Amino acid sequence: MSDYAVEANKSEGSLKEEYLSLGRAKLVEMYRTMVLIRRFEEAAAKAYSMQKIGGFLHLYIGQEAVAVGSVAAIREDDYLITAYRDHGHAIARGTDPKILMAELFGKYTGSSKGKGGSMHFFDVVRNMLGGHAIVGAQIPLGTGIAFKSKYRKEDRICLTYMGDAAMNQGAFHEALNLAALWKLPVVYIVENNLYGMGTAVDRASAVTDLYKRGCSYGIEGMVADGMNVFAVYDAVKEAAKKARELSLPTLLEIRTYRYRGHSMSDPDSVYRTKHEVEEEKRRDPIEQMKKFLLSGKIATQKEIDAVDEDVKKLAAECVEFAENSPEPPLESMYDDIYV
Amino acid sequence: MPEITFREAINQALAEEMERDDSIFIVGEEVAKYQGAYKVTQGLLQRFGEDRVIDAPISEGGFTGLGVGAAMVGLRPIVEVMTFNFSLVAIDQIINNAAKMRHMSGGQLKVPMVIRGPNGPAHQLAATHSQALESIYAHIPGLKVVVPGTPKDAKGLLKSAIRDDNPVIFMESEVMYGLKGEVPEGEYTIPLGRTDVKREGKDVTIIAYGKTVNLAMKAAESLAAEGIDAEIVDPMTVRPLDDGPIINSVKKTNRCVIVSEAWPFASVASEIGFRVSSKAFDYLDAPVELVTAEDVPMPYNKNLEHNALPTLEKLMNAARRALYKK
């Protein structure tokens, strides 16, 4: 068990009654979205193994509470931008999972018409601005999106997600300096899943309390348990408020865990033990949420079962939709290069 | 028409466009308080304020990426790089983000921004500060690349670049900022992607852009004294390349010399040479000649530097060779 797991266990008690104020429907919806992300990705993994999906497929399984908790804490007109492990963010933002699965299949009905694939999900209507595959390169973009809010005197913030490894890129440091210097309404969310591909955080970062790394820019750091959707929600709510009302950036480290390898081709046994993975799964975010719904009598077992069944069906429908969708016409490769 | 400098022409384009559209802002090193490292942005801070004319730290990857992000959500950033040498620090943002965003998002996004500043060799700055990089950017689908050669072209093209909804690389030159030329009074634009015939002639086509336009004009004068009537063709925008007027000119003169300050390998010059060879093959009476920078990093020594560049002598010799004249 990692050090983080110990800290996180302490926060399990934070599944408190105050979250009831979110309302029953919203709470069930959050649960449903987490389950949908997982079932969607399980279906994608299966399709990948059947070679229906190509390239890289980076699964979010285990990290669902981060996307769902953070998106629940912002407004619809706020922006978000993330790296290549982006399925959860798009689904949490409400993108039709059918067009996302079609994108994974490279089909013309996909969110990027088959040109983006797994690492490049975009839903501009919902202010989900990608899906970016060069580690850390989305951090200046998110900073620029926040710059626009300030320039236009709008109170829309930008959640800029990254993995723990992205913090070692120059882009991270340049962007944080600019955000602090120009007081931009951005929340940097580091999804610390303990590994940058196969390299553990303590082998990559000289400081392993990652939230502390904003201090050289005068950016306040916060840390939250990413296996607990409400802990994520609380932390993002607070950071978002500071961004919105004071136009100040925050560096929020969310400690989470990915159950699967870095990508589908990752032999994760070379850098972590099966025991570690099993230990982390004991804090599963979906199970925690389910327990909360049941113990708080927000939903009955029967209702939970219905949600699970419904989502399972939807994931299957996504695959069916993707399978039956047309290939992009060859000439479409020339589309959308210039306006 | 009034004569103004290249610098003033660019400054006018920036000011006129900023006046017209409040989504435009300028960000870069020393653009505001210092009035521009090469004084191109002189007076803009006073006129448009610090919210729109913004001094950035030396952080090209950061502020170029910030510009791309701002453009994704509707602003029209003008990112000034102090020179294009430093754009190499931001090249991931330019190539992977600015150029590809529209394609990767399946047409959901556009990136209307201009990245501008001086490009190409200056005087005795050696290898890292003296290089013409347009071929690198022209290689990338999704970018437009403009390399103007006169004050009039610079102003008209920059206004079009700012209004363009695509990322535009706009390449000036330190050593041209003081160059004077006639510029029309009042509003005008020159569309991107249109080749201009700068001088009509019948014997040999010289294709030049950017700083080499002036070299080519000088060469044409000297060649005229030898009885050689050169036509100077200036693509102005090297991507997208309007090759129609180039091909038409070569079909008329049957000879083609391309002059560029960039390196020869996989370059704008070699691309033009390829197009001429494939589209005007039957019209050529001599092999296409390339007069480029020597294929070496720029040396510091003044004499070596001079000889590493296209010179009047090299250009004239190439034109003579194309005409089988000694």
B1 pLDDT band (50/70/90 cuts)? Answer: confident
Angle at A208 between CA A204 and CA A213, to 5 degrees: 100
CATH code of the domain covering residue A71: 3.40.50.970
Residue B125 lies in a domain: yes
For residue range B259-300, list pLDDT tens digits in order. Answer: 999 999 999 999 999 999 999 999 999 999 999 999 999 999
Structure tokens at A178: 């600019």
Residue to substitute from A77, A115, A147, interface B, most B β-carbons within 10 A: A147
Q: Please, which residues bridge with residue A192 across strands?
A: A255
Query: Could you tell me what percentage of chain A is helix, strand and coil, using 3-state DSSP and rounding each to the nearest 5?
Result: 55, 10, 35
* Share of residues in chain B with pLDDT > 70 (%): 100
Burial pattern B6-22, b for ≥16 Cβ within 10 A else e, equals bbbbbbbbbbbbbeeee
> What CATH number corresponds to the domain at position B250?
3.40.50.920
Best of A148, A182, A183 to mutate (most B CBs within 10 Å, chain B): A148
Domain-ending residue, one of B123, B149, B182: B182
pLDDT band at A3 (very low <50, low <70, confident <90, very high): very low
Same domain, B201 and B100: no
**What residue numbers bound the domain in which B296 lies?**
196-322
Q: CATH number of the domain that B137 lies in?
A: 3.40.50.970
Same domain, B140 and B256: no
* Pick among A145, A162, A173 to test the B interface (most B CBs inside 10 A): A145
Q: For residue A264, what pLDDT is reported?
A: 86
Work out the average pLDDT over A290-297.
Answer: 93
Contacts for A60 with CB less than 8 Å, ≥ 6 apart: A37, A41, A67, A85, A87, A88, A258
Among B17, B60, B231, B271, which one carries the catalytic annotation?
Answer: B60
The reported pLDDT for the residue numbered A7 is 41
Over the stretch B5-50, which tens digit does the pLDDT of each residue have?
999 999 999 999 999 999 999 999 999 999 999 999 999 999 999 9
pLDDT at position B280 is 98
Average pLDDT value for residue range A257-261 = 94
Domain contains A331:
no
For residue A17, name the pLDDT band (cuts at 50, 70, 90). low
B60 is catalytic: yes
Cβ atoms within 10 A of the Cβ of B55, count? Answer: 16
Alpha carbon A154 to its chain's center: 25
CA distance B114 to chain A (A): 14
State mean pLDDT over A18-36. 93
**pLDDT higher than 50, residue A6:** no
B221 in the same domain as B311: yes
| Average pLDDT estimate for A85-108 | 98
Tell me if B229 is assigned to some domain: yes
Shared-domain flag, residues B11 and B84: yes
Decide if B189 is inside a domain.
Answer: no
SS3 state of residue B58: coil
Do B8 and B133 fall within a single domain?
Answer: yes
Number of cross-chain residue pairs from A and B with Cβ atoms under 8 Å apart: 141
Confidence check: pLDDT of A301 > 90 = yes
Last residue of a domain, one of B182, B217, B232: B182
CB contact under 8 Å between B106 and A129, yes or no, is no
- Could you tell me if residue B212 is inside a domain? yes
Establish if A13 belongs to a structural domain: no
Q: Is the pLDDT of residue A166 over 60?
A: yes
Q: Give the end-to-end CA distance of chain A in Å, rounded to a whole number.
A: 51
Domain boundary among B118, B150, B182: B182
**Residue A284 counted as domain residue:** yes
DSSP-assigned letters across all residues of A254-289: EE---SS-SSTT--GGGTS-HHHHHHHHTT-HHHHH
| Confidence class for position A269, pLDDT limits 50, 70, 90 | confident
Three-class SS state of B198: strand
A224, amino acid identity: A
Which H helix or E strand runs over B49?
Answer: none
Q: What is the pLDDT of residue B326?
A: 75
Please check whether residues B132 and B201 belong to one and the same domain. no
For residue A178, being part of any structural domain is answered with yes
**Contact: B63, A178; criterion CB under 8 Å:** yes
The C-alpha of B97 sits at a distance from chain A's nearest C-alpha, in angstroms, of 8
Q: If we measure between CA atoms, which residue out of A167, A189, A284 comes closest to residue A233?
A: A189
Task: Write out the two tokens for A213.
Answer: 């790394």
Per-residue pLDDT, A8: 40
pLDDT of residue B325: 92
Cβ atoms A178, A137 nearer than 8 A: no
Report the mean per-residue pLDDT for chain B. 97
User: Which residues constitute the domain of residue A147?
Assistant: 23-320
The predicted structure's pLDDT at residue A13: 46
With respect to residue A100, please indicate whether it lies within any of the assigned structural domains: yes
B49 and B114 in a single domain? The answer is yes
Calculate ∠ Cα B218-B85-A130, nearest 5°. 125
Distance from C-alpha of B255 to C-alpha of B282, rounded to nearest angstrom: 11
The answer as to whether B103 is a domain residue is: yes
Q: What is the token pair recorded at A328?
A: 């992009």
Q: What is the pLDDT of residues A104-126, one digit of tens each?
A: 999 999 999 999 999 999 999 99
Asked whether the ipTM of the predicted complex exceeds the cut of 0.85, the reply is yes
What is the distance, to the nearest Å, from the Cα of residue A94 to the centroid of all Cα atoms in its chain?
A: 13
Q: What is the pLDDT of residues B209-240, one digit of tens each?
A: 999 999 999 999 999 999 999 999 999 999 99
- To the nearest 10 degrees (0 to 180), the angle between helices A170-181 and B60-72 is 70
pLDDT score, position B155: 98
C-alpha pair distances (Å), A123 with each of A79, A107, B147 = 11, 16, 35
Contact A79, A158 (CB under 8 A): yes
Check if B139 is active-site: no
Nearest to B250 by CA among B205, B213, B208, B202: B205
Q: Is residue A333 part of a domain?
A: no
Q: What is the pLDDT of residues B112-126, one digit of tens each?
A: 999 999 999 999 999
C-alpha–C-alpha distance, residues B102 and B113, integer Å: 13
A112 has a chain B CB within 8 A of its CB: yes
Query: Is residue B10 located within the same domain as residue B109?
Result: yes
Q: How many domains does chain B have?
A: 2
Q: Say whether both B170 and B220 belong to one domain.
A: no
Classify residue B187: in a domain, yes or no. Answer: no
* B57, B69, B92: residue with CB nearest A145: B69
Whether B14 maps to a domain, the answer reads yes
Contact at 8 Å (CB) between B94 and B87? yes
pLDDT at residue A20 in the model = 80
Decide if B71 touches A, using CB distance below 8 A: yes
* pTM score, whole prediction: 0.96
Residue A11 above 50 pLDDT?
Answer: no
**Whether residue B157 sits in one domain with residue B35:** yes
More confident site: B148 or A3: B148
Asked, for residue B190, whether it belongs to a domain, the answer is: no
pLDDT score recorded for residue A268? 86
- Residue for token pair 């706009």: B170
Q: Number of folded domains in chain A?
A: 1
CA dist list (Å): B78 to A136, B15, B66, B202, B296: 23, 12, 11, 41, 32
Q: What are the phi and psi torsion angles at A122 (to 5°)?
A: -130, 145
Q: What is the DSSP letter of A123?
A: B
Are residues B279 and B302 both part of a single domain? Answer: yes
The answer to whether residues B272 and B210 belong to one domain is yes
Q: What is the pLDDT of residues B164-188, one digit of tens each?
A: 999 999 999 999 999 999 999 999 9
* Partner residue opposite A144 with nearest CB, options B68, B92, B141: B68
Q: How confident is the model at residue A9 (pLDDT cuts 50, 70, 90)?
A: very low
Please write the tens of the pLDDT for every residue from B77-100.
999 999 999 999 999 999 999 999
